[in-house]
Amino acid sequence: SRANSSIDFDDNAKARFGTDADLSIYHDGSNAMIDNNTGNLNIQSDGTIYFTNAAGSEVYVQLSNNGAVQLRYDNSEKLVTKTDGVTITGECAATSFAGDGSALSGVGGENDITSCLFI
Query: How would you write the pLDDT of the chain (119 residues) with one tens digit per residue?
Result: 777 888 999 999 999 999 999 999 999 999 999 999 999 999 999 999 999 999 999 999 999 999 999 999 999 999 999 999 999 999 988 898 888 878 777 766 555 555 555 55
The CB density around residue 24, as the number of other CB atoms within 10 Å, is: 16
Task: Classify residue 114 by its DSSP letter.
Answer: H
Question: pTM of this prediction?
Answer: 0.71
Task: Classify residue 113 by its DSSP letter.
Answer: H
Asked if 35 contacts 41 with a C-beta cutoff of 8 angstroms, the reply is no
pLDDT at 38: 92
- Provide φ and ψ at 16, rounded to 5°: -115, 145
Asked if 30 contacts 12 with a C-beta cutoff of 8 angstroms, the reply is no
C-alpha–C-alpha distance, residues 20 and 26, integer Å: 16
pLDDT at 36: 95
Q: Which amino acid is at 77?
A: E
The tally of CA atoms less than 13 A away on the side-chain side of residue 115 is 7
